[in-house]
Amino acid sequence: MTTIRKWSRRTAIAAAVLSASATAGIAAGKHNMQLATGGITGTYYMIGAALAKHLNDRLANINITPSTSGGGYENIRRVSLGQSQLGMTQPDTMYQAWKGEKPFSEPMRDWRVVGVVTPPMANHVIALKSSNIKTASDMKGRTFAIGAPGSGSAVSMMAFLTDSGLAAQINARMLPHQDYPDMLKDGKIDAFSRLGSVPAAVVEEMAAQNPVELVDFGKELEKSKFLEKHPYYQSVVVKAGTYKGIDRDVTMFGNGGFIIVHKDVPDDVVYELTKAAYADEAVKHVGMAFKGANLDRNDPLTGNIGPVHPGAARYWNEIGVKVPEPFLK
């Protein structure tokens, strides 16, 4: 049996199991759902944990369990295969999953979009001030932890390093997120990348303990035309003073994060979930827990390139939000 046939069979079985469990959950009065997020100190987990608690307290027929993961790439795999019913991911991941481009070995299309969950997230690259690393080119000959395996941070950063010609000149390593701060302080790595909202908690924590530098990518982004080649990324400028000790504007790149759901989760369930997740009280609760969230019901689909779940589309249409034709079909 070919790899594609095996994958198709696995996907079909997972979808059937998901549909059956979803129906059973509704009938029993409780729909249990896994929400794939990211590292425990990362943007996705911090938003997802707060959102799940809020929804669980208010929705009688839905129970959401947030789970850690490697990030957006792993999440879209989990959701598409029915291992998680909900997840968080980015437009670049959507594109590569839909097309079956690396790091995916075949197309993954059994997911649909609910709505935005973060403002444009940036690939924060952090170094100690003593390292004198201020720009991407300054990392030549250095050890750079680009992200955890399966994370959006790692894949997007490797794409940048390749396009800019820096991949062969930098020792890029994929390592667990939680080890980065200690590895940087101990000199085991010279810089690390964490994809997150601005401000990012990991940068704030590092800056509070040590003099740190944010690495600027502006010159290399322009020279390599990276943003023109990959239109699902955008430039993100972090203003001077956002972080302790960073007294200059720093240009990075990234994109927004979105909640996705398996396509076979019932429309009524997704409708109720969407309505509750983007209500004022949910926005307030999640914002108090993590200030980098963006559950914006007035502009929930800008930057999205994937198909929207019918249940979510029903809610967006109901409140006057136009659901555009998806870029990915």
CATH code for position 129: 3.40.190.10
Answer yes or no: do 206 and 286 share one domain: no
Q: Is residue 36 part of a domain?
A: yes
Answer yes or no: do 37 and 90 share one domain: yes
Answer yes or no: do 160 and 65 share one domain: no
pLDDT at 24 over 50: no
- Region 209-217: mean pLDDT is 96
The count of structural domains within the chain is: 2
Domain span including residue 39: 3-119+257-318
The per-residue pLDDT for 201 is 84
Answer yes or no: do 87 and 187 share one domain: no
* Domain-terminating residue out of 230, 255, 280: 255
Instruction: Give the rounded distance of the alpha carbon of 68 from its chain centre.
Output: 12
SS3 286: helix
Answer yes or no: do 108 and 132 share one domain: no
pLDDT at 7 over 70: no
- Region 64-93: mean pLDDT is 95
- Region 240-269: mean pLDDT is 96
Q: Among all chains, which residue has been given the structure tokens 């035309």?
A: 225
User: What are the DSSP calls for 26-70, one per residue?
Assistant: HHTT-EEEEEE---TTSHHHHHHHHHHHHHHHH-TTEEEEEE--S
Instruction: Tell me the pLDDT tens digit for each residue of 79-91.
Output: 999 999 999 999 9
Q: How far are the Cα atoms of 72, 125, 143, 161, 184 from residue 193, in angstroms, in the given order?
A: 15, 4, 12, 12, 11
Q: Does the predicted model carry a pTM greater than 0.85?
A: no
Q: Among all chains, which residue has been given the structure tokens 């689909």?
A: 301
- Region 44-64: mean pLDDT is 96
pLDDT band at 22 (very low <50, low <70, confident <90, very high): very low
> Smallest Cα–Cα separation from 149: which of 175, 121, 183?
175
Answer yes or no: do 137 and 82 share one domain: no
Q: What is the mean pLDDT of the chain?
A: 89
Q: Is residue 324 part of a domain?
A: no
Task: Tell me which of 20-29, 109-118, 213-222 is least confident.
Answer: 20-29
Q: Is residue 13 part of a domain?
A: yes
Polymer length of the chain: 329
pLDDT band at 16 (very low <50, low <70, confident <90, very high): very low
- Region 45-62: mean pLDDT is 96
Answer yes or no: do 232 and 282 share one domain: no
Q: Is residue 326 part of a domain?
A: no
